[in-house]
Structure 1
Amino acid sequence: MLNATFRQLRVFCEVAKILSFARAAEALHLSPPAVTMQVKELESQLGLPLFERQGRQVSLTTAGEYFLVYARRLLATLKEADDAMARFKGAESGLLSVGLVSTAKYFVPHLLARFHDEHPGVEVKLSVCQNREQLVALLQSGDVDLAVMGRPPKELATRAEPFAAHPQVFVAAPTHPLSALDHVPLEALANQRFIAREAGSGTRKVMDVFLREHQLAPRITMEMPSNETIKQAVIAGMGVSFLSLHTLGLELRTGVLKLLDVEQTPVMRTWNLVRMQSKLLSPAAEAFRYFMLEHAEPYLLKNDKIALNHDPLP
């Protein structure tokens, strides 16, 4: 065990997270044989198998599950040491690891690109999660420095800083009957077919609370974990949906979706920048935190105004 390398630990943790040697190789920019070799060398050092392999199916052994806890702890300690050393070099270098819920992927990469223009020496790692549970797990494991999300996790000791308003709206296809109305009363939603995000997502939570507060029981005909798939279903005329305004810029500008002027909407929530209280941010992560708190709100407000006051493109 004393001869195990941090590279072997990184490879092992990636395979354990994805449970696929081939996909772990892609994520690590290595060849599949190189990943297999690193895991075999680690297993040889330990004298125990870490994975069970049945064809393409991969699962952790009991020893592998136990070792994963210590491997992650070692890598987290190494990351803390690297961050501490980076403080002596300033914010112009180092690794910045940012996680975000899928709804935030429509604007965070643009802000990251602007941040990288100011700090070209910073290496950026972006993790897009399908739902908040995945993102909370990345925060807890220390795999991300900062998380962009709506509802901060109550189950973890985190620090959340709101950085921008997050409007959420009802949309339909231009041919939908509700799209012909200048003003949509709440009761008009009662008999509509809804295409909704999956239970547990932040968007679904906000929609459920809003409709319940107004004593409306929506007829949910489809549930999907993807904003893009939902938008295509709405465009096809399969129903109405409730989505983040920040996911709709292109569709509203091109006129393939219509924003419904429903009473008491947009429903306003906030975007938060979240980190573990116990985590000491690296200079790169601290610089990005300040950048987001200063620049994210003006950027989003500008795009919100374009979306809400748009003229569809010809």
Structure 2
Amino acid sequence: MKNITFRQLRVFVEVARHLSFVRAAEALHLTPPAVTMQVKELESALSLALFDRQGRKVSLTTAGEYYLVYAKRLLATLKDADDAMARLRKLETGLLSVGLVSTAKYFVPRLLARFRQEHPGVEVRLQVSANREQLVTLMTHGEVDLAIMGRPPRELDARAEPFAAHPHVFVAPPGHPLLRAGHAPAAALAQYPLLVRESASGTRALMDRFLAEHRVEPRIAMEMPSNETIKQAVMAGMGLSFLSLHTLGLELKAGEIELLAVEGTPVMRMWNVVHLSSRVLSPAAEAFRYFILEEGEAYLAAHDRPWLGAPPGT
């Protein structure tokens, strides 16, 4: 064990992440033989096989699954140490890892691009999770510095700071009969099929709560794990849906999807920037945290104004 290096641990974790030596090599900017050599040296030091290799198929052994937990802890601790030293140096350089729920991918990259104009020394790594549950797992394992999400994780000791309103709306394909109803009661939704996100999604949890509060029994036609797939299905006339307004800009501009005026909507939630309370943020992470708290609200308000009719300056 004493001969194991952090380089070997990084390579091992990356191969475990992709279950591919070739893709791990691409992510690490190494050659596949170099990755294979590092893993073999690690396995030799442990006297245990960490991966099963059958042709091109790679999977973790039982020992590999156990060791992955400890390898991630060690790397997270090393990063905390690096961040603490960077704080002492007061440098805004290094790697910034930002995790986000899939809904946030429609605006966070633009904010990050503006952030990097002010902080060109920071290397940014984005990790987009399919849903809130996956993002909470990344935070638990210390794989992201900051997370952008809606509902803060009560299951973790984390600091959540709201930075912007997050409206959710019901949508329909152009020409849908409910569009002619004007300001429709929530009960009218029960007549039509709904296309919904999976149960682990924050959007789904918000929709379920809204419908329960209005005593609406939904006709769920289909569950889909992707906002993009749901939007395509709505455009195809397969049903109505409940989505974040921040996912709909292009489709609304093109007239391919219409907002439904349903009582009690838009349903407002907040976007939060979140980090583990125990985590020492690097200067780069602190700088981005301040940036999004200062810039995020104005940026998203400008996006929402054309669709919600908010007056300028709000």
Q: TM-score range by the shorter chain?
A: over 0.9
CA contact (8 A) 2:92 2:287 kept: no
Q: Structure 2: any 5+ residue segments left out of the alignment?
A: none
Shift of 1:91: 4.2
Amino acid at match of 2:30: L
**Equivalent in the alignment of 2:191:** 191
Number of residue pairs matched by the alignment: 310
Q: Following TM superposition, by how much is the alpha carbon of 1:187 offset from its aligned partner in structure 2, in angstroms?
A: 2.0
**Which stretches of structure 1, 4 residues or more, deviate above 6 A after TM superposition?**
none
The 3-state SS of whatever aligns with 1:190 is helix
Distance in structure 1 (CA, Å) of the matches to 2:183 and 2:91: 50
2:149 aligns with: 149
Larger CA deviation: 128-137 vs 8-17: 8-17
In the other structure, the counterpart of 1:110 is 110
State how far apart, in whole Å, the 1-side matches of 2:234 and 2:91 are: 44
> Any idea what the Cα deviations from partners look like across 1:156-209, whole Å, max 9, x if unmatched?
111111111110000011121122332222221111111111111000000011
Q: Take 1:32 and 1:219, find their aligned partners in 2: how far apart are those partners?
A: 50
1:48-127 to structure 2, matched below 5 A, reads 48-127=48-127
Q: Partners in 1 of 2:20 and 2:205 — Cα distance? A: 32
In the other structure, the counterpart of 2:134 is: 134
20-29 or 297-306: which moved more? Answer: 20-29
Which deviates further from its counterpart, 200-209 or 71-80?
71-80
Find the counterpart in structure 2 of residue 24 from structure 1: 24
Residues 81-122 of structure 1 deviation map (CA, whole Å, 9 limit, x = unaligned): 211221133243121110000000001111111110000001
Alpha-carbon distance between aligned partners in 1 of 2:29 and 2:237, rounded to the nearest angstrom: 41
Q: Specify the code of the residue in structure 2 equivalent to 1:48.
A: L
CA contact (8 A) 1:175 1:237 kept: no
Give the partner amino acid of 1:82. Answer: D
What's the CA shift string for 1:133-155, capped at 9, x where partnerless? 11111101111011011111111
Give yes or no for the alignment of 1:4 onto 2:15: no
Deviates more, 1:131-140 or 1:40-49: 40-49
The AA in structure 2 aligned to 1:46 is L
Output the amino acid matched with 2:75: L
Within a 5 Å distance, the mapping from 1:1-314 to structure 2 comes to 1-309=1-309
- Structure 1 length as normaliser, TM-score? 0.94
What are the Cα deviations for residues 52-85 of structure 1, in whole angstroms up to 9, with x where unaligned? 2233433322322232232122211211121122
Q: Is the 8 A contact 1:96 1:124 kept in 2?
A: yes
Root mean square deviation of aligned Cα: 1.6
Is this contact kept in 2: 1:8–1:42, CA < 8 A?
A: yes
| 1: CA distance, partners of 2:30 / 2:194 | 43
Shift of 1:19: 2.7
Amino acid aligned to 2:120: P
- Structure-1 separation of matches of 2:159 and 2:72: 22
Distance in 1 separating the partners of 2:211 and 2:126: 34
Q: Is the CA contact (8 Å cut-off) linking 1:184 and 1:262 kept in structure 2?
A: yes
Quote how far apart the aligned CAs of 1:309 are.
Answer: 4.5
CA contact (8 A) 1:253 1:307 kept: no
State the alpha-carbon separation in 2 of the partners of residues 91 and 169 from structure 1. Answer: 42
- The normalised TM-score by structure 2 is 0.94
Q: CA deviation at 1:222?
A: 1.1
Q: Structure 2: how far apart are the matches of 1:29 and 1:210?
A: 47
- Name the stretch that deviates more: 53-62 or 106-115: 53-62
Q: Output one character per residue of 1:261-306: Cα deviation in whole Å (capped at 9) or x when no partner.
A: 1111000011111111100101110111111111101100110002
Q: Give the C-alpha shift of residue 25 in structure 1.
A: 3.0
Unmatched tracts of structure 1, length 5 or more: none
Contact 1:173 1:179 in 2 (8 A): no
Equivalent-residue separation in structure 2 for 1:22 and 1:63 (angstroms): 22
